[in-house]
């Protein structure tokens, strides 16, 4: 690719984006920073509180528990969605009229508003009137999403797999169809089996899209709020209270602005840090 021209005037082209995003990102972020270092007793009366809230949050059992649940959730859905998504993308037809049909049907869950996803799965999983709940109980499982934490987690994971696996499928599929036919022909001449083709041709070529898929799934699952909130409301008890649900409970439910703000910043920082680590690790051997 040709070398880019050096031109400071390009800032003029970027200016509208910078203004719009800065307005939405910097002002709210500064508001949060403000709250995180102050104590308030209402009536716009604020006292300097230093790093006190941060220490409180980092030491609190509640935060540790929510963080643990969040890591478990994110870990599980990455372990399920990425291999499953790749497997389904490999099984898809490469050309023909069926491709469009598959793509449209698979993309459908991605375009449903998140609260509807939660509500739909709630209705689907209820033990008395839901198809899933009724079927599982009929098969002899003791399944009750609103009473039993294990059932709630099962439903939560299944819902996320339903909602987002297609994103991994679409990304992987896009990576697969961009591999030139010549690669496959060469493999056929060498007598390579399906596994060898996957291991030595497809997987290396999928490196970039898989990086993007894992990053996107990590970020989005780490900030997930609406779907689990509508599905279980964080319950039964606190068993499915993920980080963002806990945060909203503290910020809007109890109106503890200081701790909520400190928690927000810690939360945002963790997301940034892990994304950066993922990104660096996965692109380290990338020549480009």
Partner 1 sequence: MTALRPVIVILYILFLLLPIYWLLNMSFKTTNEILGSFSLFPQNFTLENYATIFTDPTWYWGYINSLIYVSLNTVISLAAALPAAYAFSRYRFLGDKHLFFWLLTNRMAPPAVFALPFFQLYSAVELFDTHIAVALAHCLFNIPLAVWILEGFMSSVPRELDETAFVDGYSFPHFFVRIFMPNIGAGIGVAAFFCFMFSWVEMLLAKTLTAVEAKPIAATMTKTASSAGYELGLLAAAGCLTIIPGAFVIYFVRNYIAKGFALGRV
Q: Which of residues 163-202 bind partner 1 (CB under 8 A)?
A: 165-166, 170-171, 173-175, 177-178, 194
| Residue 2 sits in the site that holds partner 1 (CB under 8 A) | yes
The 10 Å Cβ neighbour count of residue 133 is 22
Q: Output the smallest distance, CB 270 to partner 1, in A.
A: 10
Of 112 and 186, CB closest to partner 1: 112
Please count the residues of this chain forming the interface with partner 1, following the rule CB under 8 A. 93
* Number of Cβ within a 10 Å radius of residue 142: 11
What x-and-dash track marks residues 240-279 binding partner 1 by CB under 8 A?
A: ---xxx-xx--xx----x--x---x--xx--xx--x----
Q: Which residue has the tokens 């709020």?
A: 225
Based on CB atoms, which residue is closest to partner 1, 65 or 158? 158
Nearer CB in complex with partner 1: 60/178? 178
Q: Which residues contact 27 (CB under 8 A, 6 or more apart)?
A: none
Q: How far is the CB of 55 from partner 1 (least distance, A)?
A: 19
CA distance 241 to 247: 9
Three-class DSSP labels, 165-224: HHHHHHHHHHHHHCCCHHHHHHHHHCCCCHHHHHHHHHHHHCHHHHHHHHHHHHHHHHCC
Q: For residues 153 and 230, which CB has a smaller minimum distance to partner 1 in the complex?
A: 230
In the window 30-59, what residues touch partner 1 (CB under 8 A)?
31-32
3-state secondary structure of 38: strand
Does 73 interact with partner 1 (rule: CB under 8 A)?
Answer: no
If one asks whether residue 208 binds partner 1 (CB under 8 A), the answer comes out as yes
The answer to the question of residue 6 lying near partner 1 (CB under 8 A) is yes
238 sits near partner 1 (criterion: CB under 8 A)? no
Write the DSSP symbol of residue 110. Answer: G
Beta bridge partners of 48: 38
The answer to whether the CB of 245 falls within 8 A of the CB of 229 is yes
Per CB under 8 A, which of residues 112..171 are in contact with partner 1? Answer: 112-116, 119-121, 123-124, 128-132, 134, 162, 165-166, 170-171
Which of 142, 158, 131 minimizes the C-alpha distance to 228?
Answer: 158
Contact between 281 and partner 1 by CB under 8 A: the answer reads no
Q: Determine the interface stretch with partner 1 among 3-11, 75-83, 139-147, 183-191 (rule: CB under 8 A).
A: 3-11
Question: Does 17 help bind partner 1 (rule: CB under 8 A)?
Answer: yes
- Within 78-117, the residues that bind partner 1 by CB under 8 A are 87-88, 91-93, 99-100, 102-116
Supply the angle between the helices 257-283 and 207-222 in degrees, to the nearest 10. Answer: 170
């Amino acid at each position: 690719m040709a070398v880019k021209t050096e031109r400071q005037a390009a800032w003029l082209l970027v200016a509208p984006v910078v203004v719009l995003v800065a307005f939405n990102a910097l002002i709210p972020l500064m508001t949060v920073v403000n709250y995180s270092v102050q104590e308030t007793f209402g009536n716009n009366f604020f006292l300097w509180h230093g790093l006190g809230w941060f220490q409180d949050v980092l030491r609190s059992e509640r935060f540790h528990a929510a963080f643990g649940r969040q890591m478990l959730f994110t870990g599980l859905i990455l372990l399920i969605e990425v291999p499953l998504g790749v497997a389904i993308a490999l099984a898809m037809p490469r050309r023909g009229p069926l491709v469009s049909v598959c793509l449209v049907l698979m993309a459908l869950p991605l375009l449903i508003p998140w609260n509807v996803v939660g509500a739909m799965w709630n209705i689907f999983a209820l033990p008395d009137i839901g198809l899933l709940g009724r079927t599982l109980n009929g098969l002899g499982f003791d399944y009750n999403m609103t009473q039993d934490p294990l059932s709630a987690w099962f439903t939560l994971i299944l819902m996320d797999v339903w909602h987002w696996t297609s994103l991994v499928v679409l990304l992987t599929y896009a990576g697969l169809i961009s591999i030139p036919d010549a690669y496959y022909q060469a493999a056929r001449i060498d007598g390579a089996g399906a596994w060898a083709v996957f291991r030595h041709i497809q997987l290396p070529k999928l490196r970039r899209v898989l990086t993007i898929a894992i990053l996107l799934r990590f970020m989005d699952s780490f900030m997930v709020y609406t779907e689990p909130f509508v599905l279980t409301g964080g319950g039964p008890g606190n068993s499915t209270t993920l980080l963002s649900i806990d945060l909203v409970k503290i910020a809007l439910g109890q109106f503890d602005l200081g701790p909520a703000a400190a928690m927000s910043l810690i939360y945002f920082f963790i997301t940034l840090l892990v994304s950066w680590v993922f990104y660096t690790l996965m692109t380290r051997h990338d020549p480009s």
